[in-house]
Amino acid sequence: MPRAKKKERSLDLYEHIAALNSVEECCRFFDDLCAVTELRAMEQRFDVAKMLHAGKVYTTILSETGASSATVSRVNRVLNYGTGALAEVMERVEQTKEGETAPQEDNETRRNT
């Protein structure tokens, strides 16, 4: 029996993900699309990525996430040799959160400087 031809990547899914408007909508979208185990696996890998990006050591990551050492190694390899998109997005979100929590100057303070 011949093997099925490998399907090329469809950008349709990614276009729809990019069209999501909020975290809540994103959660609902992925809840509808993925099995709970698939979501938990992606969430765990992302938690590992954030911890590696923050400079945490393997033993801490293993104990805090419950991930296997193979998963931590795989995610570390992606951060070091992947496309760079994962780290780029993490940094973008960090900067956005920092901007939201930074103290805002009032108009009076700006006029006096």
The single residue listed with the structure tokens 């193979």 is 70
Residue 100, pLDDT score: 83
- Using CA atoms, how far apart are residues 51 and 58, in angstroms rounded to an integer? 9
Please tell me the pTM assigned to this model: 0.77
Question: What is each CA distance from 43 to 11, 57, 72, 79, in whole angstroms?
Answer: 22, 19, 13, 16
The tens digit of pLDDT for each residue in 78-98 reads 999 999 999 999 999 989 888
Q: Is the pLDDT of residue 47 over 90?
A: yes
